[in-house]
Amino acid sequence: MGSYVLSHVMSVSIASPRFLTSMSSGRLQRSYLKKWGRIHHYRLPGGYVDTSRCYCSVSVSQSDISEKASTSVKKRVVSGVQPTGSLHLGNYLGAIKNWILLQITLEYDVKQLATATKSTAAIYMACGVDTTKASVFVQSHVRAHVELMWLLSSVTPIGRVNRMIQFKEKSRKAGDEQVGVALLTYPVLMASDILLYQSDLVPVGEDQKQHLELTRELAERVNYMYGRKWKKMGGRSSAIFKVPESLIPPAGARVMSLTDGLSKMSKSDPSDQSRINLLDPKDVIANKIKRCKTDSFPGLEFGNPERPECNNLLSIYQLISGRTKEEVAQECQDMNWGAFKTLLIDALIDHLHPIQVRYEEIMSDSAYLDRVLAEGATKAAVVADATLNNVYQAMGFLRR
């Protein structure tokens, strides 16, 4: 059996009601995108929530760790993603901008994991993560994650995790002898990641809703089983955990494969042709777009169910250019594929070039990157350890 990893990116941020209203209505204000550029992992004090991708990070407000910060005007948002595989355009447009929570246990290259982790952190920062307002860290550097996972596993029914769709699909494909226990229990670790930071909101896509449901169930179960005792011991209320709500990402941010307009762009797709990686050179981007799947219909249009590839490529152009769907539809309606692909290639290269330049700058300064990760883990541990200690006490463990 190969090596498997339980590692992902986490983000905990403080979001303003203005951004949350925009998110819940399925709209990202163009003024926000123009003002903050390609991406801000999180803009914490009074700002917006946005994020970049892939690797263990948590954004925690420097001054808003108190209960007041999350119960007055602002809400705390948590998300995550694994550091395996190359970050691609779908990660950037779908998750980096909206941070869909994702953590998956996958086979990985032991020799490359540390390098890939630092590379992912560098991409976050290159995409706009402001490390003065957000803390980026590696999940495994904050031990509270696995400790809370163990506590939560004691109240998690085995039948509940056996029914998780992703576990059933992956175990069926790989076979029982090739699947580790970590694949079965990783949704519990995901719940730990979320609940440690007393999160109000979790950005989710269709394929993560089941995991958030489990997180909510476990929070409610722990609150019911140990909440009264916790309150008698001096807790502020009988709620040990906040029960998080889902944060629905804007419509249209789901990027599909370049080889199949009905399949999501994915790091796990064996064909690199199916995706635009954020670090792809100019010639590779151009070649992938030139070779991507299209159709033989005249003109270009959104929303035609018989033209999924057309809808996907127009949506990519819309998101990259920051224009409205109406503007893109009017601009491209009479174009042929050759003219449009040239337009899309230029837009992608122009958009990704600054990210790639900044990425190389960050990767060339290893000491700086190591310092950012160390400081991020220290800040995140303050919040995580406080929650973990409360859970230990509520469950009756002897104080250390």
Catalytic residues: 170, 264, 267
- In order of 86, 122, 362, the CA distances from 369 in angstroms are 19, 7, 7
Give the burial class of 342: count Cβ atoms within 10 A of its Cβ; 0-12 exposed, 13-18 middle, 19 or more buried. middle
Q: What is the dihedral of CA 188, 91, 280, 118, to 10 degrees?
A: -40
Q: What CA–CA distance (Å, rounded) separates 187 from 210?
A: 9
Look up residue 2 and give its two tokens: 């190969």
Q: What CA–CA distance (Å, rounded) separates 106 from 302?
A: 35
**Cα 21 versus chain centre, distance:** 20
The answer to whether residues 276 and 258 touch, using CB atoms and an 8 Å cutoff, is yes
Q: What CA–CA distance (Å, rounded) separates 123 from 87?
A: 8
Give the burial class of 256: count Cβ atoms within 10 A of its Cβ; 0-12 exposed, 13-18 middle, 19 or more buried. buried
Residue among 67, 164, 106 at smallest CA distance from 390: 67
DSSP symbol at 177: G
Which H/E stretch holds residue 174? helix 165-174
Phi-psi map region of 26: left, alpha, beta (phi>0 left; psi -120 to 50 alpha): left
Q: What CA–CA distance (Å, rounded) separates 123 from 57?
A: 12
The values of phi and psi at residue 277, to 5°, are -80, 145
Which residues does residue 202 pair with via DSSP β-bridges, in sequence order?
Answer: 246
